[in-house]
C-alpha cells in the first residue's frame, strides 16, 4: 500500500533562506509523486510532479524537488524563501487505483 510521510508539521525559515520540506513515501508500484501548495481558505495548487522522467523536477514559483529512489524521498526545495511562500505544502503519491494518497501537510512560516 502507498503512504506518504511529511516530516515536520511546521517549518520556519527566514526570508531569503533555503526552504527544505521533507517527504518520504512508500509505494508498491513505480511512484508518481506530487507537491501541492495551499494558501489559507483556498484549494490546492499543483507545484510540481514526478512521473518517472527526470529525477530533478522544477515547478512553479522557483520550487524544485528531487526524486531519490534509494531514500524513498521527494523533498521540496527553494533556494531563497519569499514572504509569499508562506502556505501549507502537501506531498502526495499516486496509488495503484490511480488515486492520490496525501501527506498531512507542512506549514511553511517565513520570518522577516
Partner 1 sequence: DTGVSQDPRHKITKRGQNVTFRCDPISEHNRLYWYRQTLGQGPEFLTYFQNEAQLEKSRLLSDRFSAERPKGSFSTLEIQRTEQGDSAMYLCASSPGESLYGYTFGSGTRLTVV
Integer Cα distance of 16 and 22 in angstroms: 19
Would you count residue 90 as binding partner 1 (CB under 8 A)?
yes
Would you count residue 99 as binding partner 1 (CB under 8 A)?
yes
Residues 6+ apart with CB under 8 A from 40: 87
Alpha-carbon torsion angle 6, 10, 13, 18, nearest 10: 10
- Smallest separation, CB 17 to partner 1 (Å): 24
Would you count residue 28 as binding partner 1 (CB under 8 A)?
no
All 3 cell numbers of residue 55?
529525477
Would you count residue 21 as binding partner 1 (CB under 8 A)?
no
| Only segment of 12-20, 66-74, 79-87, 103-111 that touches partner 1 (CB under 8 A) | 103-111
Binding mask 37-56 for partner 1 (x = CB under 8 A): ----xxxxxx--x-x-----
Would you count residue 31 as binding partner 1 (CB under 8 A)?
no
Cβ 1 vs Cβ 95: under 8 Å: yes
Amino acid at each position: 500500500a502507498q503512504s506518504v510521510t511529511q516530516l515536520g508539521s511546521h517549518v520556519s525559515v527566514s526570508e531569503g533562506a533555503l526552504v527544505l520540506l521533507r517527504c518520504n513515501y512508500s509505494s508498491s508500484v513505480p511512484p508518481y509523486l506530487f507537491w501541492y501548495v495551499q494558501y489559507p481558505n483556498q484549494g490546492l495548487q499543483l507545484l510540481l510532479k514526478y512521473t518517472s522522467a527526470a529525477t530533478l523536477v522544477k515547478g512553479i514559483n522557483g520550487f524544485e524537488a528531487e526524486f531519490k529512489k534509494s531514500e524513498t524521498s521527494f523533498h521540496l526545495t527553494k533556494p531563497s524563501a519569499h514572504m509569499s511562500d508562506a502556505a501549507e505544502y502537501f506531498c502526495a503519491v499516486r496509488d495503484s487505483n490511480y488515486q492520490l494518497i496525501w501527506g498531512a501537510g507542512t506549514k511553511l512560516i517565513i520570518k522577516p
